Amino acid sequence: MNSILIIDDDDQLRNSFVKLLTEEGYNVDQAASGEAGVNIVKNKAPDIVILDMRLPGMNGFETFRAIHEVEPRLPVIIMTAFGTTDTAIEATKLGAFDYILKPFDIPAMLSLIKQALSASRFMRSPVDMDTIPDKASRDAIIGRSAVMQEVYKAIGRVSPTDATVLIRGESGTGKELVVRAIYQHSLRADKPFLVINCVAIPETLLESELFGYEKGAFTGAAHRRVGKIEQADGGTILLDEIGDMPLNLQAKMLRLLQEKSIERVGGRENIATDVRIIAATNRDLEAAISEGRFREDLYYRLKVVTIELPPLRERENDIPILTDYFLYKYSEEKGIKNPGISDKAKALLSGYSWPGNIRELENTIQKALIFNRGAPLSPDDIAQVINEKIHTSDLKKENVDDALRQWIRKELTKKNNAEDLFDSCMDDMANAVISEALNICDGNRSKAAKLLGLSRPTLHSKIEKYNIRMETLVKEDN
């Protein structure tokens, strides 16, 4: 369970915090002074710390420094009120995870806590390579295929250098795991590591997140803010989804890579920085360049060392050991005996094309285990999950498009494809459209025909042709 240490001398605030976080499922320790807090850090090794700036005795800033000395990678969230923001900013410059102004709203704090916990895990929980870990709570990069051997070699080669690394691969192929392995084997393994997700942060905020800003740089900039790059000084930054970075920021990134310096938004000062950049993307950067969405000069700077992660369908031999690994991991997590998997179910997994790659395989095993009652996973257990993924999802257009494309991809990359692939896909589409229309119309064929703009006989013949059988059809109209 994730553990959080709260250091605050305000009993009331601390107690309500402890209550809230315990209810959220965290393991919480508390200290009313900096001295007591540092002791807990030494003895109990919490995953993150929430620290108030105004403390009696050892003040917040000194407490931060002491904690940082014990464990420089421990994410510390600083709580600050007006009057102590300057020291909070100083602490961020020295590597505090972030600061939040009091009074803060709870969702914002909970989201910051989640980010800090994930950063903590990223830096401090080791990633094993090519061995199934002894504890299921540890993460590992599993795979023995020749392409994965190349990936391990590349990780070994680039880790102990300061080279910029570009990691490419479809979604779910393990890019983040590889970044973690590189960081953990790097010369900067005891220095901070920060992730910036270029898609998740709105374009307008991304620049100030990365580069920080000066007071008065724009409306609402009441204080100076230290950006992530400055905060990670001496350490490493992952620019996740870099293919989606807006062009104006690409120019600033290029400058950072070339000149190793930045300017805060609204600032003139040139700030020297020493960060190692690792970038990841699932985009086709070459296409983005030719469409004018990605700078070619930045691309060349980034791709000095490139690690290409293969899609799972290109390393089918790894599917069985990945399956065994996830079975082991999630049975242990659920506290059940590993039920194993039947040979037929394994064959089904090997024959599927995994458009969502390892993440999809992992989710499939995890879900299949939910309803399992101890018998080895059967083809039905697996098929149920895979089909459900394809057929259901939120009815937002993007999701439906995604699911549809996923399904199409699956069909197109399936082994032993039919010769009339186009027609057979279209038949499946027609089947889905008609079934859904009938569903909506409660099985009433006249209504469904009207809805679809078909004559009733035409609809009838299509129902025959596509062999549509539904319970609702029994009701029939008339």
Ligand X SMILES: Nc1ncnc2c1ncn2[C@@H]1O[C@H](COP(=O)(O)OP(=O)(O)OP(=O)(O)O)[C@@H](O)[C@H]1O
Rounded Cα–Cα distance for residues 217 and 441 (Å): 58
Q: Which of 46, 180, 181, 187 is nearest to 122 (CA)?
A: 180
Rounded to a whole number of angstroms, the minimum distance from the CB of residue 240 to Mg ion is 6
Segment interacting with ligand X (CB under 6 A) among 22-30, 137-145, 297-305, 338-346: 137-145
Minimum CB distance to ligand X smaller for 68 or for 315: 315
CB atoms within 10 A of CB 135: 8
Strand partners, 307: 167
Q: CA-to-CA distance for 203 and 376, rounded, in angstroms?
A: 48
Shortest Cβ distance from residue 170 to Mg ion (Å)? Answer: 11
Nearer to ligand X, 9 or 176 (CB): 176
Select the residue whose beta carbon is closest to Mg ion and give its number.
176
Stretch of residues binding ligand X (CB under 6 A), selected from 64-72, 165-173, 300-308, 371-379: 165-173
CA pair distance 152, 73, nearest whole angstrom: 25
Closest distance to ligand X from the beta carbon of 25 (Å)? 20
For residues 94 and 419, give the distance between their C-alpha atoms in angstroms, rounded to a whole number. Answer: 63
Angle at 210 between CA 270 and CA 285, to 5 degrees: 110
Spell out, one character per residue from 82 to 121, where the chain touches ligand X: x when CB under 6 A holds, - when not. Answer: ----------------------------------------
> Of the listed pieces 54-62, 171-179, 209-217, 431-439, which binds ligand X according to CB under 6 A?
171-179
What are the helix (H) ranges across 219-318?
228-231, 247-259, 285-290, 296-302
Sole binder of ligand X in the list 176, 233, 263, 411 (CB under 6 A): 176
Cis peptide preceding 103, ω within 30 of 0:
yes
Q: How far is CA 289 from CA 282, 286, 292, 293, 298, in A?
A: 14, 5, 5, 6, 10
Residues 166, 362, 331, 316, CA torsion sign: negative
Q: What is the DSSP letter of 372?
A: -
Q: Which of 10, 176, 263, 427 binds Mg ion (CB under 5 A)?
A: 176
Complex with ligand X: residue 50 or 181, whichever CB lies closer: 181
Subset of residues 263 to 292 that bind ligand X, contact rule: CB under 6 A: 282
Report d(CA 120, CA 98) in Å as an integer. Answer: 13
Smallest distance, Å, CB 4 to ligand X?
23
Query: Which residue from 46, 104, 44, 38 is spatially nearest to 75, judged by alpha carbons?
Result: 46
Instruction: State yes or no: residue 171 binds ligand X (CB under 6 A).
Output: yes
35 scored as a contact of ligand X (CB under 6 A) = no
Of residues 7, 41, 79, 141, which one binds ligand X by CB under 6 A?
141
Task: Tell me the closest approach of the beta carbon of residue 104 to ligand X, in angstroms.
Answer: 29
**Interacting span for Mg ion (CB under 5 A) from 78-86, 168-176, 186-194, 242-250:** 168-176
Residue 381 contact partner, candidates Mg ion, ligand X, none, CB within 5 to 8 A by sort of partner: none
- The span from the CA of 201 to the CA of 446, in Å, is 49
Interaction residues for ligand X, span 365-404 (CB under 6 A): none
* Stretch of 103-111, 175-183, 348-356, 426-434 contacting Mg ion, by CB under 5 A: 175-183
To ligand X, the closest distance from the beta carbon of 149 in angstroms equals 12
Q: What angle do CA 81, 86, 89 make, to 5 degrees?
A: 100
Going by their DSSP bridges, the two strands 127-129 and 165-168 should be labelled as: unpaired
Q: What is the DSSP letter of 138?
A: S
Query: Within positions 309 to 328, which residues make up the interface with ligand X, using CB under 6 A?
Result: 322
358 binds ligand X (CB under 6 A): yes
Q: Which residue is nearest to ligand X (CB)?
A: 174
Q: By CB under 5 A, is residue 118 in contact with Mg ion?
A: no
What stretches of 297-438 adopt beta strand conformation (E)? 305-308
> Using CB under 6 A, which of the segments 43-51, 82-90, 118-126, 167-175 binds ligand X?
167-175
Euclidean distance between CA atoms 231 and 77, whole angstroms: 13
Cα–Cα–Cα angle for 217, 221, 222, nearest 5°? 125
> Least distance from C-beta 197 to ligand X, angstroms?
9
Residue 197 interacts with Mg ion (CB under 5 A): yes or no: no
Q: Is 142 in the site for ligand X (CB under 6 A)?
A: yes
Binding site for ligand X (CB under 6 A): 139-143, 169, 171-177, 282, 322, 358-359, 362
